[in-house]
Every structure is written in structure tokens, then in C-alpha cells.
Amino acid sequence: MEYTQLGRTGLKVSRLVLGTMNFGPQTDEATSHAIMDAALDAGLNFFDTANVYGWGENKGRTETIIGNWFAKGGDRRDKVVLATKVYGNMAPDGEAWPNHDKLSALNIRRAVDASLKRLQTDHIDLYQFHHIDRRTPFEEIWQAVDVLVQQGKILYAGSSNFPGYKIAQANETAARRGGTIGLVSEQCLYNLAERRAEMEVIPAAQEYGLGVIPWSPLHGGLLGGVIRKEVEGGRRASGRAADSLADAAIREQIQAYEDLLGKHGLEPGEAALAWLLTRPGVTGPIVGPRTAEQLESAIRAVDLELSEEVLAGLEEIFPGPGPSPEAFAW
């Protein structure tokens, strides 16, 4: 496994991030524990979750599964750089109770303590804001973060799904206040088929020294060889991938993508991850395996070197928007 620094910090993290969103809803606890053990054995040390994972009446379940895994011992917690998130409403289903969501100082304090309890740990390495909060000023957010850092409950703060201007606003506010390092990472939607982050989000992250952590690197399965799977095994696409393939132009684009990789003997999902690992500013994409086999495939991407011919072909099929303002002006 390869490692890199998380943004401008001294923290070393693996080039792949283990996403845990499927733990609970799609993957049972025993299999989830086996996947986490396999990830550690392969050298993955960066695990990502969120307090709302598990969803609906089971929100918090994913953190509980991870906490039960930590409780098995064997230095599991010490080996993991643990990231979780705050923003979603954690009040019991059907109870529209205030102050159980978003980024008020009250909710941040409440959410951290609840996550620590579920995760069975005394600290969170990277605490991420899952979405922007348009009503809570960053002065309040950073005040809450400062207290948590002083208490030893969190070490670093990161963002997720932030536009470029909010990354700038957050870190400029942190700089004015002093005493806090500000955001050190941004977790954003970024893959071959969805490159709008290159316009402003990734440049802002690079300017402020944030590591970029792409989520949905296969774009909901669209980049994982979906057409080939239909042809070979009769397995039809579902969800976002099925919706996208209903558009004839997108289907033609994905067919060209699969044809290119097939010509070079490459697995589409592994190539999509390998492409992200070549992109400026990217720390590592989040992979969310439901099975051990899917994890093994993702790990192979770290050692996969894409030729200049393949990279040029991918750029032709999936042209990026270019940086701002040239992407939409002169």
C-alpha cells in the first residue's frame, strides 16, 4: 500500500480510503468486520464513516459496527485513521426536534459525544462537516471545534460537499481567529464521469492545503464495467447507473470507455480508481466494498499504472470542464 500526507498535515494516510456506508444496510456485521480486517492486512489505514450511516431508523448503526470491531482489540483502533461526519438529523425517526442536525455548536458537541460512544473510542482523527450549514457562522463552528480539540475528542476538521467559496470562507475565518488549523480535507463527488470539482473545488482545496477525498469514484457503478456485465451475465444496471444508461449519449460514452479499457486488458473499476490517483490534489478515493472480493479489486488499482495512451483516451472520452473562469467565460 502507498501512503501520502493528508493535505498540509503531518498525518500519513493510505492512497485508498475504506468507505463504510454499506456496513449495516447492505453488509452484515460479521462481513463488515472481515472487510475491515482485510483492509488493515492490505495496509489501508484510513476509514471513513458518518453518524447518519445506517439510515432511517438504523442511523448510527454503521458507527456501532465499527465500534464493535474496535472492541475486538488487536491494536485495531491504533492502526486506523478514523474519519466520521456531522450534519444529518440524528433525532429519532418521526421526531422533528430542533438542534439535532446541522452545525450549531450545540449539535456539534452532542454529535461528537454520540459518535464517540458508538465508535467505542476516545477520539476521532478527522471530524468532517457533511454539508454546508447556511445559517451557522464559521466563527461558531470553529469555536466548537477548538473546544473539542482542546478536550482531545477530535484532532483535525474536514469538509464534505463544500463549494470552493465555502472552503475559502471557512479557512479565512479560521486564520482570522487563530488557534485552529482550519479545514485539512474536502470529500467531494469526483470521478471520470463527474469532473465539475475541477472547476473550483479542487483548486480551492489545493490553494488552502486540503487533501481531496473523492467519493463515488465509480459514479454509482457506471464506471465499473456495467455494460459488459449486462452482456456477459445478464446483470442489468440499477440505481444511478441504470438512470444514466437510459440516455443514449451516455450509453455510447460508457461503451467507448469499456472498449478502450478492454483493448488494453484493463478492468474498468480498477482503471477508474487508478485515474483518480493520478489527479492533482487527490489524497485517495473512497471505496465502499460490499464484499471482500470488491475490496481486493480496489486494492489492485493502487499498483496500476495507466499508460499515456490510456490516459489520453480517457481524456478524450471524458473531457474535463477546465478551470474557472475559463470553463464558463474567457
CATH number at residue 63: 3.20.20.100
Interatomic CA distance for residues 313 and 311, integer angstroms: 5
In a domain, 189, yes or no: yes
- For the question of residue 127 being annotated catalytic, the response is no
Q: Write down the pLDDT at residue 237.
A: 63
Amino acid in position 249: A
Residue 179's domain comprises 3-221+270-310
Q: Which residue bears the cell 498540509?
A: 8
Q: How many Cα atoms occupy the beta-carbon half-sphere of 208 within 13 Å? A: 27
Residue 33 grid cell:
468486520
Cα dihedral 168/173/175/178 (nearest 10): -160
In a domain, 52, yes or no: yes
Query: How are beta strands 154-160 and 81-86 bridged, if at all?
Result: unpaired
Q: Write down the pLDDT at residue 234.
A: 63
Gyration radius from the chain CA atoms:
20
Q: Write down the pLDDT at residue 180.
A: 83
Interatomic CA distance for residues 256 and 262, integer angstroms: 10
Q: Write down the pLDDT at residue 235.
A: 66
Q: Look at residues 291, 297, 316 and name the one whose alpha carbon lies nearest to residue 218.
A: 297
In a domain, 237, yes or no: no
List, in sequence order, every residue forming a beta bridge with 282; answer none if it has no partner: 212
How does residue 229 score in pLDDT terms, banded at 50, 70 and 90?
confident
- For the chain, the domain total comes to 1
Interatomic CA distance for residues 6 and 211, integer angstroms: 5
In a domain, 68, yes or no: yes
Q: Phi then psi for 100, rounded to 5 degrees?
A: -110, 15
In a domain, 254, yes or no: no
In a domain, 265, yes or no: no
Of the candidate ranges 74-83, 86-95, 115-124, 127-136, the one whose mean pLDDT is the lowest: 86-95
Share of the chain above pLDDT 70, in %: 98
In a domain, 320, yes or no: no
Options 3, 53, 127, 190, the catalytic residue: 53
In a domain, 235, yes or no: no
Q: Phi then psi for 168, rounded to 5 degrees?
A: -65, -45
